[in-house]
Structure 1
Amino acid sequence: MAMTHRGAVATMLLVTLLWSIAGVVTRHLDSAASFELTFWRSAANAAALALLLGWQQGATPLWRAIRHGGRTMWFSGLCWTVMFTSFMVALTLTTVANVLITMSLAPLFTAVIARAVLGQRLPGRTWAAIVVAGAGVAWMYGEQIGGGSRRDLIGTLVALSVPLAAATMWTLLQHNTRGRPEQRVDMTPAVLIGAALSALLTLPLAWPFQASASDVGWLTLLGVVQLAIPCVLAVAAGRVLRAPEAALLGLLEIVFGVAWTWLGTQESPTPAVLGGGALVLGALVANEAMALRRTPAVPA
């Protein structure tokens, strides 16, 4: 999938918009518990990816790609497993605010890992955008942070695995694109690996099932629209964007999530949410505007 830098930025905007619908959709669930929610969502994600990638590549080539993908693909698949699973587990242990604050560390972790592993040097504008966007997210949810109980601490530590896994995944994508053409592998099946492993891991914890037919329908929608499609697009965009830049754009998921909740439920955003969201958007727009002015629109 040939893509310019501008196309990759636009793709990530669509990706974060789709990722962000999880919160407002789960508000309409009747009886699905957290692990059951994760199982049905991951299972639908895996089924949709198997059909999509099997149709694109053929069942035999897809299976061959998974078998011979090598360590890079399987490590990436494990990263997707952690992201698909740990987010929901953390929500059962601590507040949404604690989880989102922890997830906002993804751009910083990505910048550090990419610098250490790939030797990527980031311009000052990107470091500034990371700091400002992180401050914006902290402002949005700082008032909601819990009292620091032992359960909150465990939940925050679980949530910490999400930005670490995301940072590792983006760095692996960049590492793969830097290899020799004959050494590069299609990293898209890694998303399928992650979804399948997430479903298998949460199945014992989700049993016995309590979800209604309506719940299963909503969770299937999430698995296809909120995970399968945007994750495939994210892999495509990650071949073009620098790893920290992709992670920074991913913070828009939090801002969009607030907007969806505002429009789809009775919840109204507080002044802190509006002000913090404005900081995040401003940092992203400024960083990408400067990047687009300096980056030629050459297909990658």
Structure 2
Amino acid sequence: MTARPMAAEPNRHRRAVALVFCACLLWSIAGVFTRHVEQAPRWETTFWRSFFCAVAMLVILAVLHRRRAVEEVMRLGRAGLASGALWAVMFTGFMLALTQTSTANTLILTSISPLTASLFAWLLLGERVPGRTWLLIGVAFAGILVMFGGEAGGGRMAGNLIALSVPLAAGLNFVLMRKSGARVNLIPAVLVGGLLSALATLPLAWPFLASPGDLAILALLGALQLALPCALAVVAARSLSPTEVALIGLTECV
């Protein structure tokens, strides 16, 4: 009687890993498609991407839950709303950081999400952190201090802090999904994140300049580069540790 559940665990883990890899593949298309946006400036691009993410999530929830879709959103509770707010920070923080600091600094700072996930998993879930991970955390944060110290008067401090908010939000979100994902359906939280991000960027996106072709590309990005992969990541997080999700997520940068 126990052999079947024990055999199911590795299969569940492999499926979760495959889901995160699929999510990373979809996340990675952003650069390819964004290059074809001709008229929409950066903030309008961010707004429409988040808006279409929310629209796509409505469709995904309708397919998954049919008449219970609205009920699933209403059942999110505080954990779901918190996850939605963290998704919104992740959706908007990266673009805001790019306007305030260098692309290199933004990529370096946002790539430490596996380390922040490990740190928050230790603090909030009591998960054991290997010694080598502590070493990497120490090296990463030492590097961040050097980066911030070297640019204290260079006008990029605000951008660096904004960029740092992305891995902090990601680490917290992965931990939240691991802790609450078994009792709360957190897929609707991606919808909340898209709505919050769209509302936050609307004042900066107005007046709209996007062409019909731009809107088609941004609709594709909202659906396939945000909504679908984020929903897959939520499902995978139920069976993976926060550190595993974040580490596999780095393949997006490869």
TM-score range for the pair, normalised by the shorter chain length: 0.7 to 0.9
Tell me how far apart the structure 2 counterparts of residues 160 and 123 of structure 1 sit (CA, whole Å). Answer: 23
| Counterpart mapping for 1:24-173 below 5 A | 24-59=32-67, 61-123=68-130, 127=133, 131=136, 148=151, 150-173=154-177
Change (3 A) 1:63 1:151: farther
Provide Cα deviations, 1:73-118, integer angstroms capped at 9, x if missing partner: 1100100010111111111112221111001111111111110110
SS at match of 1:120: coil
Query: 3-state SS of the aligned residue for 1:210?
Result: coil
State the alpha-carbon separation in 1 of the partners of residues 244 and 136 from structure 2: 13
Cα deviation code 1:179-219 (max 9, x no counterpart): xxxxx110100001000111111112101001112211111
Q: Distance in 1 between matches of 2:213 and 2:30?
A: 15
Distance across 2 between alignment mates of 1:218 and 1:206: 17
Structure 1 contact 31–215 (Cα < 8 Å) conserved: yes
CA contact (8 A) 1:34 1:89 kept: no
Counterpart residue identity of residue 194, structure 2: A
Q: Distance in 1 between matches of 2:213 and 2:162?
A: 29
CA displacement at 1:9 relative to structure 2 = 1.3
Distance 1:21 1:177 in 2: 27
**1:172 is aligned with what amino acid?**
L
Q: Aligned to 1:225, what secondary structure does the other structure show? A: helix
- Alignment RMSD (CA, Å): 2.3
Q: Give the letter aligned to residue 193 of structure 2.
A: G
> Matches of 1:234 and 1:18 in 2, distance apart?
11
Instruction: Report the Cα distance in structure 2 between the residues aligned to 1:177 and 1:23, rounded to whole angstroms.
Output: 30
2:202 aligns with 203
Extract unaligned runs of 5+ from structure 1: 139-146, 179-183, 256-300
Relative to the length of structure 1, the TM-score reads 0.73
Is contact 2:186–2:234 with CA below 8 Å preserved after alignment? yes
149-158 vs 36-45, which deviates more? 149-158
CA deviation after TM superposition for structure 1 residue 235, in Å: 0.4
| 1:11 partnered with 2:10 | no
Structural mapping, 1:258-297, within 5 Å: none
Cα distance in 2, alignment partners of residues 111 and 170 from structure 1: 10
Offset of 1:157 from its aligned partner?
0.8
- Where has structure 1 moved over 3 Å in runs of 4 or more? 122-125, 147-151
